[in-house]
Amino acid sequence: MGRFQYFLEYYFFMTFNDLGLSAELLRAVSDQGYSQPTPIQAKAIPVVLEGRDILAGAQTGTGKTAGFTLPLLQRLSANKPSQKRVVRALVLTPTRELAAQVSDSIKAYGKHLPLRSAVIFGGVSIRPQINILRQGIDILVATPGRLLDHVSQKTLDLSQVEILVLDEADRMLDMGFIHDIRKVLALLPKQRQNLLFSATFSREIKQLADGLLNSPTLIEVARRNTTAERVSQVVHQVDKKRKRELLSFLIGSQNWQQVLVFTRTKHGANRLAGQLAKDGLRSAAIHGNKSQGARTKALADFKQGKVRVLVATDIAARGLDIDQLPHVVNYELPNVPEDYVHRIGRTGRAGNEGQAVSLVSIDEQKLLRDIERLLKCEVPKVVIEGYQPDPSIVAEPAQNGRQKPAGGRGGNCRNSGQARPKTGRNTNGNKARRGNNSARRKPQASRVAPSA
């Protein structure tokens, strides 16, 4: 108990000043309104500053981007660049949205340093990216497909990379980027620092780490494959044909003003957004078939409150950082249990409370069991009065797609608390394409650390 109390006191009294960061970085962090690091930042920053490889496991929303961005900036600024600027740090991300957000973090924290950075991803013209690369940069954030496009056009030299970061490595493997990653690794110098961040640790991640990392420091700030402690979870069992009706009822009756809703398919996302709009709820859809401009506008409108409901496929399960997003709804459960963790990780970020609601039909019972097996606990179930499932309906076979066996250590299921409606009652009863289509918070004064 004494040891645990010591850890709590050590963490709660720690500030960014205790981590060995330069005055320029501390000033940038202060400009963002932060003073205390999150656990992943407190553990990772000193190790990265020492130049050691790390294998870091942290739930989404715990601030891991700043955990590698801050020390990366300091190490590069401490070592004077050559007369001609070359790429000295490479950050690989699975999606466009995450790449853009990492790039924004680098710019925000490095604004007082003489370092240049750029971001490249598919879905937009390659010509402006070529022009930026020709001017010379120190730090490059990229998705794997577009990165290899530049390599093939000889517009990018990776032979001087000193630091490699694989962000959301498990998602990159899920999206089929392992071959692209191996191609990129072959282009890098053998002597470099490697930082691998992953929300979950699968067998594939361990194999990648074994071949990539050199005597890495293992950093974990939460049990593997767990959901954020501040995210309450609840399942509402309902017939498939009444899901949209129940979703509209929940949003209206509980006055939800900002809701991120997940569907399995792009067509389903478009259809649901249209139906919700007819119900009087300002809605937009975001998925891989949308142009980058459309995706950026939909996300910006959602963050600014112009759109009340953002309907997304799993392209948005990683990389979306939305200030104090209160509600995430699984309109359809994901085929891969780990994706459930990433979806609901969009809420409950940086110490804020969040609510994750899943609308589950009889066809999805197996998917729900797989998720609960992964989490090592049962998600609380509440039937909404007036939306009880019809017991005469027979389940149809669910298309499990790229279903993987659940694994990992124990998880965390929080009771829905205030999320439970007063009218409810307790009851027990395509991999992404490579290349141009590779997928892609004003802080409160009391916020303890950045989650970007």
Check whether 167 has a pLDDT greater than 50.
yes
DSSP, residue by residue, 90-125: EEE-SSHHHHHHHHHHHHHHTTTSS--EEEE-SSS-
Q: Residue 105, exposed/middle/buried by CB under 10 A (0-12, 13-18, 19+)?
A: buried
- pLDDT tens column, 232-244: 899 999 999 999 9
- Residue ranges of the chain assigned to CATH 3.40.50.300: 2-220, 231-419
User: Beta strand 163-166 with 193-198: parallel, antiparallel or unpaired?
Assistant: parallel
What CA–CA distance (Å, rounded) separates 396 from 126?
45
Structure confidence at residue 414 (pLDDT): 62
Lowest mean pLDDT among 35-39, 104-108, 445-449: 445-449
Decide if pLDDT at 102 tops 60. Answer: yes
pLDDT of 21 > 90? The answer is yes
Tell me if 452 sits within 8 A of 441, measured CB to CB.
Answer: yes
Mean pLDDT, the chain, integer: 82
Using the predicted structure, report yes or no on whether residue 410 has a pLDDT greater than 50.
Answer: no
Burial class (CB in 10 A: 0-12, 13-18, 19+), 49: middle
pTM of the model: 0.64
- Name which CATH class applies to 231-419: alpha beta
432 neighbors 402 (Cβ within 8 angstroms): no
**Residue 346: predicted pLDDT:** 78
Residue 277 has pLDDT above 90, yes or no: yes
In the predicted structure, residue 434 carries a pLDDT above the cut 70:
no
Q: Give the pLDDT confidence of 198-208 residue by residue, as tens digits.
A: 877 778 888 89
- How much of the chain, in percent, has pLDDT values that exceed 70? 79
User: What digits encode the pLDDT tens for the residues 50-82?
Assistant: 999 999 987 666 788 999 999 999 999 988 766
Contact 389, 239 (CB under 8 A): yes
For residues 359 and 367, what is the distance between their CA atoms, to the nearest angstrom?
12
Query: Regarding the domain delimited by 2-220, which CATH topology (the fold level of the hierarchy) does it fall under?
Result: Rossmann fold (3.40.50)
Tokens of 266: 């792009």
Provide the percentage of residues in the chain whose pLDDT is more than 90.
54
pLDDT for residue 404:
44
Give mean pLDDT, residues 352-367.
91
Q: Tell me the one-letter amino acid at 444.
A: Q
